[in-house]
Amino acid sequence: MTETVISVSNLVKSYSDLKAVDDISFSINKGEVFSLLGPNGAGKTTTVEILEGVRNRTSGDVRVLGQDPERSKSLIYKLGILPQDFSFIYNSTPKEALNFYKRTLRASTDLDEILTMVDLSDKGSTPFQKMSGGQKQKLGLALSMVNDPEILFLDEPTSGLDPRARRNIWNVIKTLKAKGKSILLTTHYLEEAELLADRVAIMNKGEIIDSGTPMEIIERHHEDDRLIIRGDGEVSALLTTGGYKFEREGAYIKINMKNIKDATQIINYLYERKAKFEDFTLKRESLEDVFVRMVGEIEEDEAE
């Protein structure tokens, strides 16, 4: 039986006339990585901070490990939190910071191990103000793991990191998941969600506009698969003769297909006629494509 660790029902958060979170509901199971996606200002951070107990909600019900984060004082011992725009006392070092959380949260974790995990072992004694943006972010992640929490809230853990550091953080998240931790991850990087999340919810303007596994969302919203051929005018002439619809963009010819198997047919057709084309790619929409279109469509609808 799956155990629910977070449940949110009809959550609303208003700032005077703005509804930052507008009646959303979702739940997260134990051991699951759940990702909140959405454009800037969608209400992701607001939602996460309500779950952390940092902000009070306007209405609706929220349970984290069965408790109300607005009231519970003991919940903090079971949560690991990396806030968006993480910052720390500018003269403190990572070791001092980790020790502080270890003492206050009565944890027994090996701090060197955590530093190694986030690849900060050589920065353990560097004052916070002298660390780079990415190193600071890694410290934030390290701090969220000190108490070996049951649930982690990671609000944009990889923003501002270089590609290697991002992969490093992804590995940390995978390790945490393997240990059975439940993780609420917000991100702007769709491939990150696709890679790490069991389920995602797409937020826009305070509402959840869709949720499910990344595959489900792509299935629901993706448009035609697409064959892209690099070729000259001769190729396009042949395609016209063959009755194929296409669009040209510079050196690229784009053909939309209902079925991905149609691609073989088109390539064979061109090959038999000895058309000169350099290469071709088959493209299936990513979560990112779907996401950009979904959010874009809503904006267009509203503009009308």
Partner 1 sequence: MKPSRVSAYFILHAKSYMRSRSALFFQIAFPVILILLFGAIFSGSSYSPSTLIVQNESPSAISWEVVDAINSSGLFKVQVIGANQNISDYINSHSIQAALLIPSNFTTNYAYGYGLLILKGHTNPTVASADYQTINGILTQLNFKASNASEKLILSSQVALGNSGKTINFYVPGLIGFTVLSTMFNMVYTVPNYRRERLFRQLSFSGLTKSEWITANMLFSFLMLVLSDIVLVAIGIFVFGASLTLNIETILASALIIFGGLVFFTSVGILAGLVSDNEETVSVVGNLVMFPMMFLSGVFFPLNFAPAYLVTISKFLPLTYFINSLISVLDYGNISAVTLQIVWLLLGSAILFAVAVKLFSWKQK
Ligand X SMILES: Nc1ncnc2c1ncn2[C@@H]1O[C@H](COP(=O)(O)OP(=O)(O)OP(=O)(O)O)[C@@H](O)[C@H]1O
Contact residues toward partner 1 (CB under 8 A) are 15, 49, 52, 54-56, 73, 76-77, 79, 81, 83, 85-93, 96-97, 99-101, 103-106, 127, 143-144
81 vs 172 by CB, closer to partner 1: 81
20 binds ligand X, rule: CB under 6 A: yes
Given partner 1, Mg ion, ligand X, none, residue 40, with its beta carbon under 5 to 8 Å by kind, binds ligand X
Question: Over the range 218-236, which residues count as b (16 or more CB within 10 Å of their CB) and which as e?
Answer: beebeeebbbebebeeebb
CB of 197 to partner 1, least distance (A): 23
- The option from partner 1, ligand X, Mg ion, none interacting with 294 (CB < 5 to 8 A, set by class) reads none
User: Tokens 């982690």 label which residue?
Assistant: 152
Residue 92 C-beta: closest distance to partner 1, Å: 5
Residue keyed to tokens 């064959």: 227
Q: Which residues pair with 155 in a beta bridge?
A: 186
Binding mask 33-62 for ligand X (x = CB under 6 A): -----x-xxxxxxx----------------
Which of partner 1, ligand X, Mg ion, none is residue 24 near (CB under 5 to 8 Å by kind)? none
Q: What does each C-alpha distance from 145 to 151, 152, 154, 227 come to in angstroms?
A: 10, 8, 11, 45
Instruction: Mark residues 177-216: x for contact with ligand X by CB under 6 A, - for none.
Output: ----------------------------------------
User: Which DSSP symbol is given to 67?
Assistant: B
Q: Which stretches of 149-261 are DSSP H helices? A: 163-178, 190-196, 214-221, 233-242
CB 42 within 8 A of CB 203: yes
As measured in angstroms, the least distance from the Cβ of 69 to ligand X is: 16
CA distance 135 to 128: 9
Minimum distance, C-beta of residue 153 to Mg ion, in the bound complex (Å): 12
